[in-house]
């Protein structure tokens, strides 16, 4: 799928906002991208038609699986370019980001793989930020299969209306990001955290919650 530079940038912004647990509303993205909200809404419409995001006025824009994959790939290219420029060309840290912003849209996947292999498949960029995996589309898994200590984005919740209301009131809803802090030896209780609060989830419902793991 061929995307314009602007479309790629919007996906990347939404990805960062999801990571930081910020609602990607039209106003929030407009402030981030320094444009007017109507411009953002027009782009949201384009990306929705391409099945890269879904948009709700209240919840904001949420990346769909394909959109998440493309955003992660762009971020991977950016961080690998920064690593290449710093390690191979010894470029000054102050201009790494600026140059990577230009190159991330131009280089092919094939060239990026060759650079990745040349660098020894690094897992972090010069700033210490993790380099996302983009070898394949990320698949939703059941919450019960998440590894302790790993973060994830809630993809789908199939619960009774009463239970869904209970968890939504505690900020556990589609599009939110959590980390599996711990679980009991018998898997009866899963303890999650979003960095601000803890949430206990019954082991009887974890098969009904699908999530996208953050590797």
Domains and CATH numbers, the chain: 5-63 (1.10.10.10), 141-214 (2.30.30.90)
5-9, 74-78, 123-127, 162-166: least confidently modelled range:
123-127
Query: What pLDDT sits at residue 136?
Result: 45
Name the helix (H) or strand (E) containing 17. Answer: helix 5-19
Q: What is the pLDDT of residues 81-111, one digit of tens each?
A: 999 999 999 998 888 888 999 999 999 888 8
* Token pair recorded at residue 120: 């020894």
Q: Which of 10, 19, 22 minimizes the C-alpha distance to 70? A: 10
pTM: 0.62
Q: What is the pLDDT of residues 108-157, one digit of tens each?
A: 888 888 898 899 888 889 988 888 875 444 567 899 988 888 888 888 89
DSSP string, 102-144: HHTTTS-HHHHHHHHHHTT--SB-TTS-B----SSPPPPEEGG
Residue 15 CA to residue 76 CA, distance in Å, equals 12
Q: What is the pLDDT of residues 41-85, one digit of tens each?
A: 999 999 999 999 999 988 899 998 889 889 988 999 999 999 999
Query: What pLDDT sits at residue 90?
Result: 93
Query: What pLDDT sits at residue 137?
Result: 47
176, pLDDT greater than 70: yes
């Amino acid at each position: 799928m061929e995307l314009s530079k602007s479309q790629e940038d919007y996906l990347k912004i939404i990805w960062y906002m999801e990571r930081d647990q910020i609602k990607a509303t039209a106003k929030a993205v407009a402030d981030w991208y320094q444009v007017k909200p109507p411009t953002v809404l027009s782009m949201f419409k384009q990306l929705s038609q391409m099945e890269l995001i879904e948009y709700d006025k209240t919840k904001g824009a949420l990346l769909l699986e394909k959109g998440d994959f493309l955003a992660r790939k762009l971020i991977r290219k950016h961080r690998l370019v920064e690593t290449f420029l710093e390690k191979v060309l010894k470029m000054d840290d102050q201009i790494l980001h600026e140059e990577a912003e230009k190159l991330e849209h131009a280089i092919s996947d094939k060239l990026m793989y060759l650079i990745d292999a040349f660098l020894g498949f690094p897992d972090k960029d010069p700033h210490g930020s993790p380099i996302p995996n983009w070898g394949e589309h990320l698949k939703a898994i059941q919450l019960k299969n998440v590894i302790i200590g790993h973060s994830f984005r809630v993809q789908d919740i199939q619960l009774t209306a009463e239970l869904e209301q209970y968890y939504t009131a505690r900020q556990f809803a589609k599009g939110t990001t959590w980390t599996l802090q711990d679980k009991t030896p018998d898997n009866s209780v899963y303890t999650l955290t979003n960095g601000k609060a803890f949430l206990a989830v019954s082991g009887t419902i974890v098969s009904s919650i699908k999530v996208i793991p953050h590797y």
